[in-house]
């Protein structure tokens, strides 16, 4: 084969592929433009569904009639869009509609599919409509992290003791989106999740303990106080720092004193969290213990000390003024903190 | 001439041919990887409710850093759009880098600014910060007024003041999708190893902008902008997702990228160079290898930032020359990474591929053209072969663009109208007849000017969306590198 023949052959191959690609683009474009033409009627279906869920005259049969010209996927997409925005009777109507047109049945079947994308989509459908299904529990140990994360979201819609138990296992998942989804699920589930989480705290590994403490900070449930106090003596500084944050969020009457004690911790991160907690609690008796931190070598800690003293009212402000003369790091931070106060005052006066 | 051809060019012609074949194979691998990545991503996000996941209290906080220099024409629209971004814990830090126009005055009158004195640590040294303001209307909006120090200096000033876990660097003239951040943050939630994530940049020249938002997503109807739109699609739907599976990206566009703030501070932030966005990514990855920590750079195809592209050849030429200088500078600064096993896949795969198939491409293309032209003149090559070979090169170029358009068609279809998408096909074909050769020339000039020591930015005109050209506008920041 000569060089020219070779190039001609290559040209034929490339030309054919271009033609094929073009054909796919044109075909897809035509299908899409056909869908665009259907769009006004899709608006009708959307309106019919909205009317139905608001309990007005449209019936499910009417909607199904209107929707018969469309792919079921369109209808499901409309319903999925609507699902997070409706509650109570409207939601019940929507779910009943989804059941009547077979969406729920297909989703129940879909969570057992061999394809991860089908399992994921089906789990999302069941989550959106809040459908409880035994078939969802195996999803917590699915091999796809996306599916496991979705299972956590489903647990918020269908909370049960078993789901909570599986969520706790998911907190230890190596895939970031799974542990994140489990934490988020516990925050959304709220107080119902506190007791199981407290039980888990006693046996969990270090990473899970930290994740539970993060949940405790977000939920601010004072039932975590006792365990947070005990964990404030944990060997891990990261755990102690989070425990200090939980103490501050618990709002327990003894929390202020506990945080003052943690100001003496050998880890700077723990001291930072304790000082931040005192700021949150506005625990003015701690002012004298915070003051030495203005001179700390770590800038973040000096800044936190300034902010905390500012939040402690008159006792803190007096200590800031005492420290402000001079040119050391403590004076510099005290001046900056006081400037912050005067800038706020100026703004309020204006 | 005969001597030059026979002793220098003729022996090289087989190398050029081998390069051509290798390039084709490389793009085939890259495209397959991109298609797989896109397929997985589209399945992953189908029916996903971003608002549920990312309205979480434990979602990472984000500070947006917006460097602005003489952006009077576009700043109001851009900031308005940022303020309506759908992300729960967001702070916006606009850094006015010694503007000589009314950028600061526009910001002040539009957003009702008042001076504040926050306590912050100047971890990275920057030019003097003159004042810091907060908006009375939108407390999450902070404006930093500083002496002129360039884009990198502005980003560093913003980095010092920002307080969030993640920072998002964008150009002031960029228009973002309202839920872009929620999509872009996903890799950071997925893994602690992710240090940066980039998004797609699209050409906004044909679009209508109202109140800092795109009112209609239209493809450009003029050839120059249209061809650039195809180039952007090729780079962002084909190149970047392809690298996700082949060892990670080497570039996050400065127009829209998200990073872990602490990683940026640890590596001393942005440095003053023509291609600071690419340099930063290479430095972050290199630093991670040196410290023995994993660091991944992810590309997310879904969130989109829209930007205007040059509408005049002169401006476009300057831009491409600047990009190539930036690219050359980054490759040279980090030359020790090249083929160094210490840097793993970065040193052995990603870096060499970028040097071979991106940096060297204009040089090889010019050598190839020279060989063909001189070969025909001196009778070494038949004119028929030369014409067919030129057609083959054009055909490969068209095929790559068509494959990118196919990905667009089967995935996002952001240019909604059929006519717009049909025009993209036309631009993809036209690109190879003159435009591509011009870009080769500009890139070559970029390499030459870098070797000759030119390191400055040059000027770029901003005209603002839906407004007329202003030929004499002062320079403004803009950075969308189109590589791979």
Q: What band does B473 get if pLDDT is binned at 50, 70 and 90? A: very low
Mean pLDDT across B332-351: 94
Contact assignment for B406 to A21 by CB distance below 8 Å: yes
pLDDT at B467 over 50: no
The H or E element containing residue B131 is strand B129-135
Instruction: Give the least confident one: A5-14, A137-146, B270-279.
Output: B270-279
Mean pLDDT across B197-206: 92
B141-146 and B90-97 as β-strands: parallel, antiparallel, unpaired?
parallel
Mean pLDDT of chain B: 87
Give residue A194's pLDDT: 95
Nearest to B389 among A7, A124, A218 (CB): A7
3-state DSSP assignment of residue B68: strand
| Neighbouring C-beta atoms of residue B195, cutoff 10 Å | 27
- Distance from the A285 Cα atom to the nearest Cα atom in chain B, whole angstroms: 24
Nearest to B392 among A10, A32, A176 (CB): A10
pLDDT at B475 over 50: no
Give residue B474's pLDDT: 37
Nearest to A176 among B53, B189, B392 (CB): B189
Mean pLDDT across A6-23: 94
Mean pLDDT across B25-45: 92
A345 close contact with B: CB closer than 8 A: no
Give residue B40's pLDDT: 93
Q: Which residue has the higher pLDDT, B272 or A122?
A: A122
Q: What pTM does this model have?
A: 0.86
Chain A hits for B403, CB-CB cut-off 8 Å, are 21
**Tell me: the pLDDT tens digits for B91-148?**
999 999 999 999 999 999 999 998 888 888 889 999 999 999 999 889 899 999 999 9
B337 phi/psi in degrees, rounded to 5: -70, -30
Q: What single-letter DSSP state applies at residue B296?
A: E
CA-nearest of A100, A106, A6, A12 to A52 is A100
Give residue A227's pLDDT: 96
A154 close contact with B: CB closer than 8 A: no
B413 close contact with A: CB closer than 8 A: yes
Chain A hits for B405, CB-CB cut-off 8 Å, are 21, 25
Q: Which residue has the higher pLDDT, B353 or B14?
A: B353
Contact assignment for A25 to B402 by CB distance below 8 Å: yes
Mean pLDDT across B72-93: 86
Nearest to B384 among A4, A128, A176 (CB): A4
Nearest to B409 among A28, A337, A340 (CB): A28
Q: Which residues touch A143 (CB under 8 Å, ≥6 apart)?
A: A116
**Gap between the Cα atoms of B423 and B175, Å rounded:** 23
**Gap between the Cα atoms of B367 and B355, Å rounded:** 17
Domain boundaries of chain B, sorted by first residue: 1-484
Mean pLDDT across A230-253: 95
Mean pLDDT across B159-184: 88
Q: Which residues touch B29 (CB under 8 Å, ≥6 apart)?
A: B242, B246
Q: What band does A59 get if pLDDT is binned at 50, 70 and 90? A: low
**Gap between the Cα atoms of B157 and B145, Å rounded:** 10
Provide the sign of the torsion angle of the four alpha carbons B226, B230, B235, B237, taken in this order.
positive
Does residue A102 come out as left (phi exceeding 0), alpha (psi in the -120 to 50 range) or beta?
Answer: left
**Do A217 and A249 contact (CB within 8 A), yes or no?**
yes
Nearest to A14 among B53, B392, B421 (CB): B392
- Distance from the A128 Cα atom to the nearest Cα atom in chain B, whole angstroms: 9
3-state DSSP assignment of residue B74: coil
Instruction: Give the least confident one: B144-153, B318-327, B362-371, B457-466.
Output: B457-466
Contact assignment for A33 to B422 by CB distance below 8 Å: no
Q: Which residue has the higher pLDDT, B6 or B157?
A: B157
A10 close contact with B: CB closer than 8 A: yes
Helix%, strand%, coil% for chain A, nearest 5: 80, 0, 20
A163 close contact with B: CB closer than 8 A: no
Interface of A with B in 307-336 (CB under 8 A): 307, 333, 336
- Distance from the B22 Cα atom to the nearest Cα atom in chain A, whole angstroms: 14
Which CATH superfamily groups domain B1-484? Answer: Spore Coat Polysaccharide Biosynthesis Protein SpsA; Chain A (3.90.550.10)
Give residue B86's pLDDT: 84
Dig out the tokens for B464 from the structure.
Answer: 């603002």
**Residues of chain A with pLDDT > 70: what percent?**
93
A349 close contact with B: CB closer than 8 A: no
Give residue A61's pLDDT: 65
pLDDT at B465 over 60: no
Give residue A120's pLDDT: 95
Cβ contacts from A onto B, under 8 A: 119
Mean pLDDT across B362-369: 91
- Distance from the B432 Cα atom to the nearest Cα atom in chain A, whole angstroms: 14
């Amino acid at each position: 084969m000569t060089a020219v023949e070779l190039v001609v052959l290559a040209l034929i191959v490339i030309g054919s592929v271009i033609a094929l690609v073009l054909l796919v683009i044109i075909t897809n474009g035509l299908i899409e433009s056909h869908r665009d033409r259907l769009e006004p009627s899709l608006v009708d279906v959307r309106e019919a569904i909205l009317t139905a869920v608001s309990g007005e005259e449209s019936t499910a049969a009417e909607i199904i009639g209107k929707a018969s010209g469309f792919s079921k996927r369109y209808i499901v997409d409309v319903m999925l869009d609507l699902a997070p925005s409706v509650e109570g009777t409207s939601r019940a109507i929507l779910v009943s509609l989804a059941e009547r047109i077979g969406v729920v049945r297909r989703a129940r079947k879909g969570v057992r599919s061999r394809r991860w994308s089908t399992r994921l989509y089906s789990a999302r459908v069941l989550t959106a409509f809040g459908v409880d299904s035994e078939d969802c529990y195996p999803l917590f140990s699915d091999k796809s992290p996306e599916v496991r994360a979705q299972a956590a979201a489903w647990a918020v819609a269908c909370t049960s003791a078993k789901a909570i138990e599986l969520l706790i296992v998911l907190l230890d998942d190596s895939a970031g989106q799974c542990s994140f989804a489990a934490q988020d699920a516990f925050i959304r589930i709220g107080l119902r999740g506190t007791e199981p989480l407290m039980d888990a705290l006693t046996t969990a590994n270090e990473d899970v303990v930290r994740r539970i403490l993060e949940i405790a900070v977000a939920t601010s449930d004072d039932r975590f106080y006792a365990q947070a106090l005990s964990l404030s003596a944990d060997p891990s500084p990261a755990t102690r720092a989070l425990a200090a944050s939980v103490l501050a969020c618990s709002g327990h009457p003894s929390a202020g004193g506990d945080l003052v004690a943690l100001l003496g911790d050998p880890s700077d991160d723990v001291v930072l969290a304790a000082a931040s907690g005192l700021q949150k609690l506005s625990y003015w008796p701690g002012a004298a213990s915070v003051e030495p931190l203005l001179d700390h070598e770590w800038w973040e800690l000096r800044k936190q000390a300034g902010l905390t003293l500012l939040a402690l009212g008159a006792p803190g402000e007096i200590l800031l003024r005492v420290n402000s003369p001079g040119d050391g790091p403590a004076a510099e931070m005290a001046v900056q903190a006081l400037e912050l106060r005067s800038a706020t005052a100026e703004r309020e006066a204006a | 001439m005969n001597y030059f051809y026979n002793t220098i060019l003729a022996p090289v012609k087989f190398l050029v041919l081998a390069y051509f074949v290798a390039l084709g194979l490389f793009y085939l691998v890259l495209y397959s990887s991109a298609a797989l990545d896109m397929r997985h991503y589209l399945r992953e996000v189908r029916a996903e409710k971003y608002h549920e996941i990312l309205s979480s209290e434990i979602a990472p906080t984000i500070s947006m850093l917006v460097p602005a220099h003489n952006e009077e024409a576009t700043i109001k629209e851009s900031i308005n759009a940022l303020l309506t971004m759908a992300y729960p814990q967001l702070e916006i830090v606009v850094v006015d880098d010694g503007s000589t126009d009314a950028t600061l005055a526009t910001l002040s009158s539009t957003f009702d600014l008042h001076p504040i004195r926050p306590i912050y640590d100047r971890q990275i040294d920057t030019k003097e910060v003159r004042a810091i303001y907060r908006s009375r209307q939108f407390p999450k909006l902070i404006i930093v007024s500083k002496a002129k120090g360039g884009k990198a200096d502005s980003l560093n000033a913003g980095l010092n003041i920002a307080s969030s876990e993640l920072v998002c660097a964008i150009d002031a003239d960029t228009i973002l999708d309202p839920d872009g951040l929620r999509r872009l943050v996903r890799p950071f939630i997925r893994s602690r190893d992710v240090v940066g994530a980039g998004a797609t940049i699209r050409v906004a020249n044909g679009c209508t902008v109202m109140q800092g938002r795109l009112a209609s997503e239209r493809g450009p109807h003029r050839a120059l902008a249209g061809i650039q739109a195809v180039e952007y699609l090729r780079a962002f739907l084909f190149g970047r997702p392809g690298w996700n599976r082949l060892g990670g990206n080497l570039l996050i566009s400065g127009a829209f990228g998200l990073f872990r703030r602490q990683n940026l501070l640890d590596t001393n932030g942005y440095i003053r160079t023509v291609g600071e966005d690419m340099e930063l990514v290479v430095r972050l990855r290199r630093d991670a290898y040196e410290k023995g920590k994993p660091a991944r750079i992810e590309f997310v195809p879904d969130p989109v930032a829209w930007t205007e592209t040059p509408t005049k050849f002169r401006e476009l030429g300057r831009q491409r020359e600047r990009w190539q200088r930036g690219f050359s500078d980054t490759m040279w600064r980090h030359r020790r990474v090249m083929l160094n096993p210490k840097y793993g896949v970065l040193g052995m795969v990603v870096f060499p591929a970028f040097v071979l198939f991106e940096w060297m491409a204009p040089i090889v293309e010019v050598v190839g053209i020279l060989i063909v032209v001189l070969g025909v003149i001196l009778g070494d090559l038949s004119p028929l072969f030369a014409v067919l070979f030129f057609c083959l090169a054009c055909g490969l170029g068209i095929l790559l663009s068509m494959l990118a358009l196919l990905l667009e068609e089967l995935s996002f279809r952001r240019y909604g109208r059929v006519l717009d998408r049909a025009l993209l096909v036309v631009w993809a074909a036209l690109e190879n007849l003159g435009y591509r050769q011009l870009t080769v020339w500009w890139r070559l000039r970029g390499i030459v000017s870098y070797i000759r020591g030119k390191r400055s930015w040059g000027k770029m005109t901003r005209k603002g969306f839906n407004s007329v050209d202003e030929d004499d506008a002062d320079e403004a920041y803009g950075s969308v590198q189109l590589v791979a």
